[in-house]
């Protein structure tokens, strides 16, 4: 056995041991309490009540020049051994080293081909809130900023309009967890599509638990469902599934089209990030309606670094599926996840129960 093969086999055994020995986080009572502490459904992510939407006349048309479509994207973790605080939003970045075209640029072009003239992109990092990244050398937005942005889009561009701005989600690696949380905690928004690029949940809790506690347990913000149950891996019980599913492998009812790219595990690779998504996405009610996926030729890291063949497939699917009709989308046929303690669903919105 040559040295290179021995080294790779050693790496595989080490990774397998880490996976097998990784502690399964149990629900934390403090997390559950943080999830149940919300006092109003109108509270914004920054701890202040959202201003009421302006009263609009019937058949109100969105102002000219405003975005026809917004894309909210979450990049993944910065690597296997990097500092989580250095995560950065790379999905909208392009250079010669990334092939010259960013992933989000390729997705935007697909929607432009469908006739969308004004597209706005919000690119977030895989972190709970805004932070300075040593890698990018910039202050990077996180989940809370994405939620604040979506709140603004709902208030200014969606609510009350006959031609509301459409919303698309994109996530790569650990970023798919944040994107799933955004969809599940904004069920009053219908997302045209969720583009999931090699959804990875493994080690998400270990990398982010400290910051989740700092922000939601020891801070003023309400923890998003289902993080009040702890580790998002193996959280949701889905009909027909033999084991609990990772939240980033479950497509919520308010997503119309689910497009998934998964990579395969590579025993021999010059890319040290050999992780791969091994679970096919499923609907919250156990069906695969309007879900499509492919296995990528790219490695896990390269999938998010530049426009590639897999992103080309995503773009082709977007154009082939066309613009969905929100009015004909039967959301009520899907089973929504249970609401946090003290809340209930009413007409597609989550509201607190009467005391």
As a three-state string, the secondary structure of the chain is: CCHHHHHHHHHHHHHHHHHHHCCCCCCCHHHHHHHHCCCCCCECCCCCECCCCCCCCCCECCCCCCCCEEEEEECCCCCCCCCHHHCCCCCCCCCHHHCCCCHHHHHHHHHHHCCCCCEEEEEECCCCCCEEECCCCEEECCHHHHHHHHHHHHHHHHCCECCCCEEEEEEECCHHHHHHHHHHCCCCCCEEEEEEECCCCCCHHHHHHHHHHHHHHCCCCCCCCCHHHCCCCCCECCCCCCCCECHHHEECCCEEEEEEEECCCCCCCCCCCCCCCCCCCEECCCCCCCEEEEECCCCHHHHHHCCCHHHHHHHHHHHHHCCCCHHHCCHHHCCCCCCCCCEEEECCEEEECCC
Which residues partner with 259 through β-bridges? 195, 292
> Furthest-apart CA pair in the chain: how many Å?
76
**pLDDT-derived band at 152, boundaries 50, 70, 90:** very high
Cis peptide preceding 192, ω within 30 of 0: no
Residue 327, classified by CB atoms within 10 Å of its CB into exposed (0-12), middle (13-18) or buried (19+), is exposed
pLDDT, residue 259, reads 92
Domain extents for the chain?
26-52+67-324
pLDDT at residue 24 above 80? no
What is 26-52+67-324's CATH number? Answer: 3.40.50.1820
Higher pLDDT, 194 or 92: 194
**348, 252 Cβ separation under 8 angstroms:** no
Block residue for tokens 């979506």 = 150
pLDDT, residue 21, reads 33
**What percent of the chain shows pLDDT beyond 70?**
70
Higher pLDDT, 135 or 329: 135
| Nearest in space to 181 (alpha carbons), one of 160, 156, 159, 199 | 199
pLDDT, residue 78, reads 77
Q: Alpha-carbon distance 208 to 144, whole Å?
A: 14
Q: The whole model's pTM is what?
A: 0.79
> Residue length, the chain?
355
**169, 195 Cβ separation under 8 angstroms:** yes
pLDDT at residue 278 above 50? yes
What's the distance, CA 240 to chain centroid? Answer: 24
**pLDDT-derived band at 222, boundaries 50, 70, 90:** confident
């Amino acid at each position: 056995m040559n040295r290179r093969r021995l080294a790779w086999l050693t790496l595989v055994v080490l990774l397998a041991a880490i996976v097998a020995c990784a502690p399964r986080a149990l629900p934390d009572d403090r997390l559950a309490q943080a999830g149940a502490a919300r006092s109003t459904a109108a509270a914004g992510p920054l701890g202040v009540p959202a201003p009421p939407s302006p009263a609009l006349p019937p058949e109100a048309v969105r102002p000219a020049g405003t975005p026809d479509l917004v894309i909210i994207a979450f990049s993944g973790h910065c690597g296997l051994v990097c500092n989580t605080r250095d995560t950065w939003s790379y999905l909208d970045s392009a250079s010669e080293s990334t092939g010259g075209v960013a992933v989000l640029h390729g997705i935007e072009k697909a929607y432009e081909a469908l006739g969308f003239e004004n597209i706005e992109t919000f690119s977030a990092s895989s972190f709970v809130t805004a932070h300075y990244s040593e890698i990018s050398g910039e202050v990077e937005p996180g989940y809370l900023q994405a939620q604040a942005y979506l709140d603004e889009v709902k208030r200014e561009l969606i609510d009350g309009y006959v031609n509301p701005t459409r919303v698309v989600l994109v996530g790569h690696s650990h970023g798919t967890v944040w994107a799933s949380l955004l969809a599940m905690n904004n069920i009053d928004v219908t997302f045209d599509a969720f583009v999931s690029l090699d959804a990875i949940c493994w080690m998400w809790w270990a990398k982010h638990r400290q910051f989740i506690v700092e922000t939601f347990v020891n801070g003023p913000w309400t923890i998003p469902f289902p993080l009040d149950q702890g580790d998002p891996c193996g959280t949701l019980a889905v009909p027909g599934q033999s084991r609990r599913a990772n939240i980033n492998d479950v497509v919520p009812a308010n997503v119309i089209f689910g497009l998934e790219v998964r990579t395969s595990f590579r025993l021999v690779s010059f890319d040290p990030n050999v992780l791969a998504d091994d679970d096919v996405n499923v609907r919250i009610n156990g069906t695969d309606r309007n879900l499509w996926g492919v296995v990528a030729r790219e490695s896990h890291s390269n999938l998010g670094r530049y426009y590639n063949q897999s992103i080309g497939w995503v773009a082709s699917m977007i154009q082939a599926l066309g613009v969905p009709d929100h009015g004909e989308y039967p959301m009520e046929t899907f089973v929504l996840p249970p609401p946090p303690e003290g809340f209930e669903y009413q007409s597609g919105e989550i509201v607190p129960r009467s005391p």
